[in-house]
Amino acid sequence: MRSTTNTIWAVLGLALILVLPAFAGGQWVKIFTSTTTFALAAAGAGFLYTRLGMVSLVQVGLMGVGGWVTLRLNHAFNFPFEINLMVAGAVTMFLGNLIALPALRMRGLYLALITLMFAAGLDIVFTAKQFPNGAEGFWGVGTTFAADMRRPVVAQSDAAYLRYTMVWLVIGFVLIELHRRMAPGRAWALIRKSEAAALASGVNVTLYKTWAFGLSGLLAGLGGGLLAGSLGLLDSATFRASESVMLFALVIVGGARFWYGAVIAAVLFRVVPGLLNNWGVDADLSLVIFGAALLHAVMTAPDGLAGQINGAIRTLIPSRKSDNKGAKA
């Protein structure tokens, strides 16, 4: 049954990659590209929460770091986009490892507060220094553009770049799934159940916690770098600490246990405000919608919207077990 559900979602995902960029308008191509990049960060937050039971409220801040590094390397050295993106991911992975240090001794609310303080610190740095835009000087910040953002050769147009970001999102999901199925996934499951039992079994708790935060940071950095490639200019208001809190809340609403829960979270995060703007409604109304959705998830849908969708699919598709029983009868 699970394989059937995953196949359905894989087919839908492939259809979106092929069809969506061709039919979306100019403004919506940008919005969907932004949605895809934030889905990478949401996937990292959901992965940490489901595998280790840890709350990270710094994902959007790490996206900002990834975007800053990508812009800086592009404007200062004119490296190919892929190199800029890989370096950005490596930097945020290292920062994720640093954030993991408090996680070695803390969990729950205290760890969440520490990651939130880290996000607030990044917020202050982004506001004070701004993002590089190609101007002269060490930071490369000025009032006008002096250089263009270099994109991948295969993704020069906005529609092609949307497909490019979607492919990176798929790579991110595959990376998480590979970790889940291999030794790290088994170690994380044991750590979440009982750190004492994990230590007694010979699991290196320090290594695997650091590994998890590093992977989460990598996904956020890739998302930030891809967002920089889409827009060519980033604003500090996009990466406020409050945005990290909102993204994590929407991960819960979307369904942290399911990979498409991250997509749902990103769609709520970026598409819903865009729809409200198109309808002439204040985009801040989305906060009310998100609050109601979070209340619904906490009270009636612990697996989020993805869990409810998955349950609906199960009711529509008969399981193999029931088919076998019917055949025996």
Number of structural domains found in the chain:
1
27 occurs within a structural domain: yes
102 occurs within a structural domain: yes
Give the residue, 147 or 165, on which the prediction is more confident: 165
Give the residue, 46 or 107, on which the prediction is more confident: 46
Contact 58/223 with Cβ under 8 angstroms? Answer: no
148 occurs within a structural domain: yes
Which DSSP letter does residue 303 get?
Answer: T
The pLDDT confidence band at residue 283, using thresholds 50, 70 and 90, is confident
Residue 90 has pLDDT above 50, yes or no: yes
pLDDT cut 90: percent of the chain above it: 53
| Confidence at residue 188, expressed as pLDDT on a 0 to 100 scale | 93
Tokens matching residue 128:
């004070």
The pLDDT confidence band at residue 326, using thresholds 50, 70 and 90, is very low
Contact 36/282 with Cβ under 8 angstroms? Answer: no
294 occurs within a structural domain: no
Tens-place pLDDT, residues 233-270 = 899 999 999 999 999 999 999 998 888 899 999 999 99
> Mean per-residue pLDDT for 98-117?
85
Cβ contacts of residue 234 below 8 Å, gap of 6+?
A: 64, 67, 68, 71, 131, 227, 228
Torsion of CA 216, 89, 24, 313, to 10 degrees: -30
230 occurs within a structural domain: yes
CA distance readout (Å), 220 to 51, 216, 224, 273, 288: 17, 6, 6, 21, 26
254 occurs within a structural domain: no
56 occurs within a structural domain: yes
| Confidence at residue 102, expressed as pLDDT on a 0 to 100 scale | 82
- Domain span at residue 15 reads 2-241
Residue 44 has pLDDT above 50, yes or no: yes
Tens-place pLDDT, residues 153-200 = 999 999 999 999 999 999 999 999 999 999 999 999 999 988 888 988
- Classify residue 194 as exposed, middle or buried by CB count within 10 Å of its CB (0-12, 13-18, 19+): exposed
Residue 74 has pLDDT above 80, yes or no: yes
| Confidence at residue 2, expressed as pLDDT on a 0 to 100 scale | 54
